[in-house]
Amino acid sequence: CPSSAGLSPVSPSPLHSEFIRSNKMVYESTGKFQLVEGDVDNFDKMMEAVGVSAEKRQKGRTLKPIIEFSHDGDKYKVTGSAEGIPERTKEFVLDVEQEETTIDGRKVKSTYKREAKGLMIQHEVQENGMVVVYHREIKGDQMHVKVTCGDLVANRLYKKM
């Protein structure tokens, strides 16, 4: 995973800024989705690279998390749950960097952006400087998630519940 050092902030386009100001547009990813399949091996390699312990990675290989997205105006909420893991909720505003604590206790800085209809991108800067990017795209009743970290790519498929 590359470091975030040397990256310059990206200014939102006028169209993107208009979306942020508008309460008329609804983020198309609102809903509840459960993981049905994914590239476990590459996702595991990413989690190892960012410092997730072997024990937690092994447990994570068998989880089928449920993720629920909602929003009220420009405030978004993501609630995640999985069997044997307490439910966690993250709240955010688009294009605003915020500190978050991952499910395994690591501190990261995340920025969420809406790139197109049904496409949300999250940039997550790890404590060690590595960057993980989540591309979440809604296609019908499925959410396609492409997770990248350097040259590693893991695809994950969620189905709407």
Residues near 63 by beta carbon (within 8 Å), at least 6 away in sequence: 35, 82, 83, 85
14 vs 145, more confident:
145
CA atoms 26, 9, 96, 32: torsion sign: positive
Q: Residue 8's pLDDT is what?
A: 43
pTM, entire model: 0.80
| pLDDT number for residue 94 | 94
122 Rama sector, left if φ>0, alpha if ψ -120 to 50, beta otherwise: beta
Q: Is 76 exposed, middle or buried (0-12, 13-18, 19+ CB in 10 A)?
A: buried
Tens of pLDDT, residue by residue over 23-80, are 333 445 578 999 999 999 999 999 999 999 999 999 888 899 999 999 888 899 999 9
Instruction: Give residue 28's pLDDT.
Output: 58
Q: Which of 9-13, 82-86, 140-144 has the highest mean pLDDT?
A: 140-144
- Does 86 score more than 50 pLDDT? yes
pLDDT digits (tens, 9 = 90+) for 110-148: 999 988 888 899 999 999 899 999 999 999 899 999 999
Question: What integer pLDDT is reported at residue 73 of this predicted model?
Answer: 85
Considering only residues 110 and 86, tell me which one the structure prediction assigns the higher pLDDT.
Answer: 110
Structure letter (DSSP) for residue 141: T
Per-residue confidence (pLDDT) for residue 118, from 0 to 100: 81
